[in-house]
Amino acid sequence: MTLAELKRGQKGVITDVSSIHIPLKLLEMGCLPGNSVELVQVAPFADPMYLNINGTHLAIRKETAVHIIIETIHE
């Protein structure tokens, strides 16, 4: 599934990142395969998404999140 489908409070692991659509800056901030991701908060209409990626807190738009593939983890 893609990151855009993650629900609030859910956690996952990034498995693939489409490098054409994802800017280098986002990768440098930790959005890389193998790193954990959690949806902290969503704005109205679930966009943008406030994420915790590998300890870095950042917000991205849904249109970017669809290019990040994840697997959810259940605790």
Partner 1 sequence: MSKQINVALIGNPNTGKTSVFNALTGLNQKVGNYPGITVEKKEGICKLPRGVKAHIIDLPGTYSLNASSLDENVVIELLLNKTDKDYPDVAVVVSDVENLKRNLLLFTQIKDLQIPTILVINMSDRMEYKGISLDIPYLEQQLKTKIALISTRKNKGINKLKELIASHKELSVEACLDASIIDTTYFNNLRKAFPHQLLYKLWLVITQDVNFGKTDRKTYDAVEDFKTKSKTDLKRLQQKETIKRYQFINETLKKGQTIDLKSAKDLRIKLDRILTHKVWGYLIFGVILLTIFQAIYDWSSIPMDFIDNSFASLSEWTKDTLPEGAFTNLLAEGIISGLGGVVIFIPQIAFLFLFISILEESGYMSRVVFLMDRIMRRFGLSGKSVVPLISGTACAIPAIMATRNIESWKERLITILVTPFTTCAARLPVYLIIIALVIPEGRVFGLSYQALTLMLLYLIGFGAAVGSAWILNKVLKIKSKSFFVVEMPNYKLPLLKNVALTVLEKTKAFVFGAGKIILAISIVLWFLASYGPGDSFNNAERIVTEQYASDNLTEEELNQKIESHKLEHSFIGIAGHAIEPVIRPLGYDWKIGIAIVSSFAAREVFVGTLATIYSVGSDEEETIKNRMAGEVNPVLGGPLFNFASGISLLLFYAFAMQCMSTLAIVKRETNSWKWPMYQLLIMSGFAYIVALIAYQVLK
Give the footprint of partner 1 on this chain (CB under 8 A).
Answer: 19-20, 23-30, 32-33, 40-41, 43-45, 47-48, 50, 54-61, 63-64
Q: Do 30 and 55 meet the contact criterion of CB atoms below 8 Å apart?
A: yes
Non-local (6+) Cβ contacts of 55 within 8 A are 30
**From residue 52, how far is each of 20, 45, 46, 72 by CA, in Å?**
22, 19, 16, 14
How far apart are CB 3 and partner 1 at their closest, in Å?
13
Residue 60 beta carbon to partner 1: minimum distance, rounded to whole angstroms: 6
CA 10 to chain centre: 11
Judged by beta carbon, residue 12 or residue 49, the one nearer partner 1 is 49
Q: Closer to partner 1 at the Cβ: 5 or 30?
A: 30
C-beta closer to partner 1: residue 40 or 73: 40
